[in-house]
Amino acid sequence: MDEQILQSLSERAEICRSIGLVKEKHGIPIQDFPRENDVYAHIREKAAELGLDPYHIEEIYRQIVSMCSAVQGSKSEK
């Protein structure tokens, strides 16, 4: 299961890297705080439905979003 989580994070990072290149090309800011807030609200709701602590899951997602923002801001391609 841990390897699946890491694989999913790796795949997400690749997608974020591609999104970052598109954003850079079109002059779109990396951060979109209203969108991030929508994601966190959705994640809290889904976490509660699954019997997970919504605020702990939000903290995990904040780290994931931070990682993705860093990847998007990176100028180098993998």
* pLDDT at residue 41 tops 50: yes
Which has more pLDDT, 77 or 6? 6
What the chain holds in terms of domains, given with CATH numbers, is 2-73 (1.20.59.10)
Span 30-40, average pLDDT: 94
Q: ∠ CA 55-39-18 to the nearest 5 degrees?
A: 125
pLDDT at 78 exceeding the cut of 80: no
pTM, rounded to two decimals: 0.81
**What is the maximal distance between C-alpha atoms in the chain?**
41
Nearest-angstrom CA–CA distance, 8 and 3: 8
Q: What is the mean pLDDT of residues 13-42?
A: 94
Task: Flag whether pLDDT at 14 surpasses 70.
Answer: yes
Per-residue pLDDT at 69 exceeds 60: yes
Helices (H), 1-78: 2-26, 33-49, 54-73
% of residues, the chain, pLDDT over 90: 92
